[in-house]
Amino acid sequence: MKQPLWIGGEYRAPSTYFELKNPYNLEVLAEIANAEQDDVHDAVTAAHQASPKMASMPAYQRAEILEKVAGYLAEEKEECARLISKEAAKPLKAARAEVERTIMTYKFASHEARRIHGETVPMDAAPGGEDRLAFTVREPLGVIAAITPFNFPMNLVAHKVGPALAAGNTLVLKPASQTPLSAYKIAEFFHRAGLPAGALNVITGSGSRIGDLLMEDERIKMITFTGSPGVGKYIRENSGLKRVTLELGSNSAVIVDEGINLDKVIPRIVIGAFSYQGQVCISIQRVFVHETIADTFIEQFINEVKKLKAGNPLDETTDISAMITRGDVGRTKEWVDEAVAGGANLRLGGHSSNGIFQPTVLVDVPLTEKVSCEEIFAPVVHINRYKTMEEAIELVNDSKYGLQAGIFTNDIHHGLQAAKRLEVGGVMINEIPTFRVDQMPYGGVKLSGMGREGVKYAVEEMTELKLISFKMDL
């Protein structure tokens, strides 16, 4: 199968294609279009030309289109889950959950489209501001470039396309080269739902080449990016005065206080650490356990991890499958070996076969090891001990990242202390940091990014606030 580009409401054959392979069995799934400079230019032109139409489309119509897309996804949910599973090697259970969340994201976007509004401004609160009626309105920015990662190929596309269209913008979408088919599928749904031609364009090919072209184009008003911190920083530094939202990586941590019901908490932490092979931006990488319960926790945790079944992502019972590239398998192995050489205690895993890195548990890891201080993005977790809550919070904060953190505690003071002092975008009390529902504000501090997603919050980022002031007497 050949997948052409989607520009101006129609497919366009490119001059070259690249092979898309299933990361699990390396079978060729499709030939994917490589966008050239002219294609990128034409995609931006199509989005630019569609801007006035989208900006003047009534809110209820934008809402209806988004609602229809949620409906098409619901009708074809199994097909969509299998598509994600094949191109991303995401276990089917997780791929199905992603499709359900994508449906919710478009539904939230549909609701949000109907309630974009401003507020009145009390101008007479300042001397000289008397006799004025003033209010704000939120206007679309125009053309938005969306660049998305491989790990949630439908829902993270939805987190950009949904709010952008809800607010009356147009888009040029550049999905990850490993997971383009999910993005093209969504473009097809929008076309079927009656979105004007050019309002959503999909271009594929190398991110570094296409990215530069998008950053240089003055007609693009915003770049919304989800991906690795290195690329995010590059985009921020090269986008001039464009608005930029960055949803980047992390080495998320969870604190486990004493007195906690481990039978309840450990299965949750295992899910948070190993879902989709740990290739989730809020995957649990660091676990800090109170020293009085640490040994029991470690034994029980390892027993729970041993229950995970590795295999073909399309197998209904698979929990863990292949990592996104064989290169990532090699990198993970290197980091784990380095940690062990540095004094970490390897209690489970640490090896791979056929692209699947076995769920790996390290204990008492020196915190300067890469498996702790860098984002590993792999099925690897480490468990360390702490003595006081003060120390635990410092350990979590001792990171260049700050996306979300979790704490399990029965002590309300510990929960509140963590809420106040943890340097992250979201604190989950009695929940794993991997928790997310799609309407909540989501984003990071430090190297984890800037700006917020979660449909309502993304709409704020994707609109311009305009003040209108009416002087009552001339």
In which order are the strands placed within the sheet that holds 16-21?
2-3, 28-34, 16-21
One-letter-per-residue 3-state SS of 172-229: EEECCCCCHHHHHHHHHHHHHCCCCCCCEEECCCCHHHHHHHHHHCCCEEEEEEECCH
Positions 81 through 140 that interact with ligand NAP (CB under 6 A) = none
Backbone angles phi, psi at 253, to 5 degrees: -125, 155
Return the number of the residue (135 or 435) whose C-beta is nearest ligand NAP: 435
Looking at residues 433 to 462 of the shown chain, list those that interact with ligand NAP (rule: CB under 6 A). 449
Place of tokens 């945790």: 301
Instruction: Compute CA distances 47 → 52, 65, 143, 198, whole Å.
Output: 10, 17, 6, 5
Q: Are 231 and 89 in contact (CB under 8 A)?
A: no
Q: Residue from 6, 377, 386, 408 that binds ligand NAP (CB under 6 A)?
A: 377
SS3 per-residue string spanning 336-377: HHHHHHCCCEEEECCCEECCEECCEEEECCCCCCHHHHCCCC
What is the rounded distance in angstroms from the CA atom of residue 297 to the CA atom of residue 465?
A: 50
Catalytic residue among 36, 112, 247, 369: 247
CA–CA–CA angle 70, 99, 436 (5° rounding): 105
Q: Nearer Cβ to ligand NAP, position 91 or 168?
A: 91
Q: Which of residues 300-359 bind ligand NAP (CB under 6 A)?
A: none
Question: Is 260 or 381 the residue whose CB approaches ligand NAP more closely?
Answer: 381
- The answer to whether 156 touches 226, Cβ cutoff 8 Å, is yes
CB-CB contact of 458 with 163 (8 Å): yes
Q: Which of 213, 248, 256, 284 binds ligand NAP (CB under 6 A)?
A: 248
Among 49, 177, 345, 358, binds ligand NAP (CB under 6 A): 177
Which residue of 4, 91, 227, 451 would you call a contact of ligand NAP, by CB under 6 A? 227
**Cβ-based nearer residue to ligand NAP, 135 or 234:** 234
Beta carbon of residue 225, minimum distance to ligand NAP (angstroms, whole number): 7
Query: Is residue 281 flagged as an active site residue?
Result: yes
Tell me which of 247, 319, 369, 438 binds ligand NAP, using CB under 6 A: 247
Nearer to ligand NAP, 111 or 236 (CB): 236
Judged by CB under 6 A, the chain residues 142 through 171 that form the site for ligand NAP are 147-151, 156
Selected from 18, 135, 234, 435, the binder of ligand NAP by CB under 6 A is 234
* Nearest distance from C-beta of residue 366 to ligand NAP, angstroms: 23
In the shown chain, the binding pattern of residues 268 to 307 toward ligand NAP, with x for contact by CB under 6 A and - for none, equals: -------------x--------------------------
- Tell me which of 98, 281, 369, 461 is the catalytic residue: 281
Catalytic site residue 247? yes
39 binds ligand NAP (CB under 6 A): no
Residue 376 interacts with ligand NAP (CB under 6 A): yes or no:
no
How many residues belong to the site for ligand NAP (CB under 6 A)?
A: 28
Residues 185 to 224: which contact ligand NAP by CB under 6 A?
A: 206-208, 211
By DSSP bridging, strand 143-147 and strand 170-174 are: parallel
Our CB check for ligand NAP shows the closer of 168 and 232 to be: 232
Distances (CA, A) of 20 to 117, 298, 386: 43, 40, 45
Helix (H, G, I), strand (E, B) or coil at 283: coil
Q: If residue 381 lies in a helix (H) or strand (E), which one and from where to where?
A: strand 380-386
- Smallest distance from ligand NAP to CB 59, Å: 27
For position 228 contacting ligand NAP by CB under 6 A, the verdict is yes
Q: For ligand NAP, which is the closer residue by CB, 355 or 415?
A: 355
The nearest distance, CB 449 to ligand NAP, in angstroms, is: 6
Minimal distance, residue 142 CB to ligand NAP, in Å: 20
CB-based contact 41:70 (threshold 8 Å): no
Nearest distance from residue 16's CB to ligand NAP, in Å?
Answer: 14
User: Among residues 55, 115, 124, 116, which one has the least CA distance to residue 470?
Assistant: 124
Helix axes 229-237, 207-216, angle to 10 degrees: 30
Contact between 195 and 71 (Cβ < 8 Å)? no
Binding site for ligand NAP (CB under 6 A): 147-151, 156, 174-177, 206-208, 211, 226-228, 231, 234-235, 247-249, 281, 375, 377, 403, 449
Tell me the catalytic residues: 247, 281
